[in-house]
């Protein structure tokens, strides 16, 4: 067992018989969320921390499965006994979002009306939908308010949305490598990824399940493209540069440069397991996220009702959601005189930095979380 690991964990199911009507106007008659918990909920039920995942994340955030010891949670470097998010103090909850493909109700789940996978009929979900579903899970766990809601990227957007939609239920929000809304360029990258999937002949309009195929070509391209935006230009230059593969032929279209090998490997790996419809839904939730929109574009007004204290973290080389985007959030919070700490971490790792075990970054999170009362 790795040092300070939370150790073996078990995925759980929260089954909700109460229907939920989503922003898209569609009602899911019954639904469920896959989740995990680490640490112990205290008697006052006041030490719970919610971890929100990003585009391709899920509820398996820390620890490992006994029957799959190499399947370690995606934020395991952050969460565990003695780690920055210390499970000796906190009761940590990881959850797979609605629309996901890791056990929560999503496009590959059976639609009770037809007995077949939802496929293209699964409704578009929004960040606010996720917050409402996560709140139902909190109810079921007896958690009235979260000590903290924590997330990076799309997960940070959920943390922010929690403070707006359910202000009394969040005491601290840790909004990491996020943005208050996507730019046209962000949306453009998402749309290319979506078009890659949708125009893959094996997508079958989203109903590929019944054809027993998967749009792996499109998913692979989407992931390759995504990876370019997750890394920094400098890091790519340092890690790959113009290096050739030792075995590479030349004057052809096989793998030749190391960067091609890396991207194609990442694309193939991802295409092998991720659900194409979930990918579409997650990117659309990103595109729609814009809490200021209902307030004439004014983010400060949108955040006026928030009651949480905030830690906003950005990374210098993140060009997907640059520090300038995080500062928009900080400025809107400051305008409201909300308590906010802001940390801009010098990191070469681009957007992916939020997942990395960076000493300074983890020190900042640990210091902030040490002052979060349980």
Query: For binding to a second copy (CB under 8 A), which residues are involved?
Result: 23-25, 123-124, 181-185, 187-189, 191-192, 194-196, 198-201, 217, 220-221, 224-225, 227-228, 231, 233, 236-237, 239-242, 250-253, 256-260, 263-264, 267, 280, 284, 287, 290, 293
Q: What's the min distance (Å) between Cβ of 259 and a second copy?
A: 4
At how many degrees (to 10) do helices 127-141 and 276-288 cross? 100
Is 56 tagged catalytic?
no
**What six digits make up the tokens of 321?**
């959601």
Nearer to a second copy, 139 or 287 (CB): 287
Q: What's the min distance (Å) between Cβ of 201 and a second copy?
A: 6
Is 287 tagged catalytic?
no
Q: What's the min distance (Å) between Cβ of 178 and a second copy?
A: 16
Nearer to a second copy, 69 or 201 (CB): 201
Which of 129, 165, 318, 352 is catalytic? The answer is 318
Taking alpha carbons only, the member of 258, 194, 184 closest to residue 223 is 194
Which of 102, 227, 349, 351 is catalytic? The answer is 351
Q: What's the min distance (Å) between Cβ of 19 and a second copy?
A: 18
Phi/psi at 121 (nearest 5 deg)? Answer: -80, -10
Identify the H or E element spanning 14.
strand 12-16
Nearer to a second copy, 290 or 344 (CB): 290
If DSSP states are collapsed to H, E and C, what string results for the chain? CCCCCCCECCCEEEEECCCEECCCCCEECCEEEEEEEECCCCCCCCCEEEEECCCCCCCCCCCEECCEEEEECCCCCCEECCCCEECCCCEEEEECCCCCCCCCCCCCCEECCCCEECHHHCCCCCHHHHHHHHHHHHHHHCCCCECEEEEECHHHHHHHHHHHHCHHHECEEEEECCCCCCCHHHHHHHHHHHHHHHCCHHHHHHCHHHHCCCCHHHHHHHHHHHHHHHCCHHHHHHHCCCCECCCCCCCCCCCCEHHHHHHHHHHHHHHCCCCHHHHHHHHHHHHHCCCCHHHCCCHHHHCCCCCCEEEEEEECCCCCCCHHHHHHHHHHHHHCCCCEEEEEECCCCHHHHHHCCCHHHHHHHHHHHHCCCC
Q: What's the min distance (Å) between Cβ of 268 and a second copy?
A: 11
Which of 5, 153, 232, 326 is catalytic? The answer is 153
Q: What's the min distance (Å) between Cβ of 300 and a second copy?
A: 18
Nearer to a second copy, 176 or 193 (CB): 193
Q: Please answer whether residues 219 and 274 qualify as being in contact, where contact means their C-beta atoms are separated by less than 8 angstroms.
A: yes
Nearer to a second copy, 230 or 368 (CB): 230
Nearer to a second copy, 147 or 353 (CB): 353
At how many degrees (to 10) do helices 184-198 and 276-288 cross? 160
Nearer to a second copy, 280 or 364 (CB): 280
Is 250 tagged catalytic?
no
Q: What's the min distance (Å) between Cβ of 207 and a second copy?
A: 13
Other Cβ atoms within 10 Å of 257 Cβ, number:
15
Which residues are known to be catalytic? 153, 318, 351
């Amino acid at each position: 067992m790795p040092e300070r690991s939370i150790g073996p964990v078990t995925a759980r199911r929260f089954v909700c018989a109460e229907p939920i009507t989503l922003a898209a106007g569609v009602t899911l008659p019954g639904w469920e969320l896959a989740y995990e918990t680490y640490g112990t909920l205290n008697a006052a039920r006041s030490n719970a921390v919610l971890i929100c995942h990003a585009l391709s994340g899920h509820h398996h955030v820390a620890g490992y499965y006994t029957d799959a010891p190499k399947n370690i949670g995606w934020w395991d470097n952050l969460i565990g006994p003695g780690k920055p998010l210390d499970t000796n103090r906190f009761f940590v909850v990881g959850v797979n979002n609605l629309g996901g493909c890791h056990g929560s109700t999503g496009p590959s789940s059976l639609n009770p009306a037809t007995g077949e996978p939802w496929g293209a009929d699964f409704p578009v979900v929004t960040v606010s939908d996720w917050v409402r579903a996560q709140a139902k899970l909190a109810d079921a766990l007896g958690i009235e308010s979260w000590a903290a809601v924590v997330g990076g990227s799309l997960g940070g957007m959920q943390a922010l949305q929690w403070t707006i939609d359910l202000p009394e239920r969040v005491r601290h929000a840790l909004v990491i490598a996020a943005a208050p809304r996507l730019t046209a360029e962000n949306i453009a990258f998402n749309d290319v990824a979506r078009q890659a999937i949708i125009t893959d002949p094996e997508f079958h309009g989203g109903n590929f399940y019944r054809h027993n195929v998967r749009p792996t070509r499109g998913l692979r391209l989407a992931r390759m493209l995504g990876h370019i935006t997750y890394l920094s230009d400098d890091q790519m230059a340092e890690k790959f540069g113009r290096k050739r593969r030792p075995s590479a032929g030349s004057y052809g279209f096989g793998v030749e440069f190391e960067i091609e090998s890396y991207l194609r490997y990442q694309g193939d790996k991802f295409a092998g397991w991720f659900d194409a419809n979930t990918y579409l839904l997650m990117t659309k939730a990103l595109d729609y996220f814009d809490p200021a929109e209902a307030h004439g574009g004014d983010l400060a007004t949108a955040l006026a009702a928030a009651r949480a204290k905030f830690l906003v973290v950005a990374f210098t080389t993140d060009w997907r959601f640059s520090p300038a985007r995080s500062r928009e959030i900080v400025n809107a919070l400051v305008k409201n005189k909300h308590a906010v700490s802001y940390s801009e971490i010098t990191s070469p790792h681009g957007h992916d930095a939020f997942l990395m075990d960076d000493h300074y970054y983890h020190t900042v999170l640990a210091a902030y979380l040490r002052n979060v009362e349980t």
